[in-house]
Amino acid sequence: MDFVKEFSTFLFENKIIQFGDFTLASGKKSSYYVDLRLVPSYPHDFRRMVKHLQNEITNDVGLDNFDSLVSVPTGGLVIASALAIETVKPLIYVRSKPKEYGTSKSVEGKVQEGMKVVMVDDVATTGGSVLNGIKSLKESNINIEDAYVIVNRMEGADEALKEQGVTLHSLLNVLEITKALHEQNLIGDEILQKVQQQTAIE
């Protein structure tokens, strides 16, 4: 599929994905680092990514089959906002922790019990931020069955979400990105092997 190849190349050439030795926010070591917060600085590529996401959601779920898009700040919210404008769908978001003043809500935006939402985030590793969001939504009696990320790092998020009854979809996973770059000789065998070991999927 051309999108995978082209978008992987774009990520690599603009240092949005970098290979080496990195320490993640969780303290975990990683053989690569991906920072999708850089993508909106490239409007054409950003829009293509959002349109691709729109197509995936349209094909998998159908735009008429859910009430609202939902995101978790901050990485996913930028993408979800653009997507909400393209699809003309309402947007709500889940705070990482409830507001300590005013209404002390954890879900911001117009919500009603029993509504159905589709979650959008930037990257999934173990699924932590998305899982927290799902928990807050369920506490508000909001239905969620599908979550979309741009890049799946393939480190347990799929399984963690499945336990909550939510299917994780991704535009790309890190193995697809790495293989696409390897095929174009942009990275060597050693990097590919390291990423394969990290995802523990051959």
Q: Which of 173, 121, 114, 124 is nearest to 144 (CA)?
A: 114
Q: For 116-145, what is each residue's pLDDT tens digit?
A: 999 999 999 888 888 999 999 999 999 999
pLDDT (tens digit per residue) in 161-171: 999 999 999 99
What is the Cα–Cα distance from 46 to 28, expressed in whole angstroms?
Answer: 28
Domain of 111, CATH number, reads 3.40.50.2020
Average pLDDT of the segment spanning 25-36: 88
What residue numbers bound the domain in which 14 lies? Answer: 2-199
Any idea which residue has 């996913």 for tokens?
76
Please give the Cα distance from 108 to 136 (Å, whole number): 11
Q: Quick check: 201 pLDDT over 60? A: no
* Interaxial angle between packed helices 2-13 and 174-183, expressed in degrees from 0 to 180 and rounded to the nearest 10: 80
Instruction: Return d(Cα 172, Cα 193) in angstroms, integer.
Output: 18
**178 and 144 in contact (C-beta within 8 Å)?**
no
How many folded domains does the chain comprise? 1
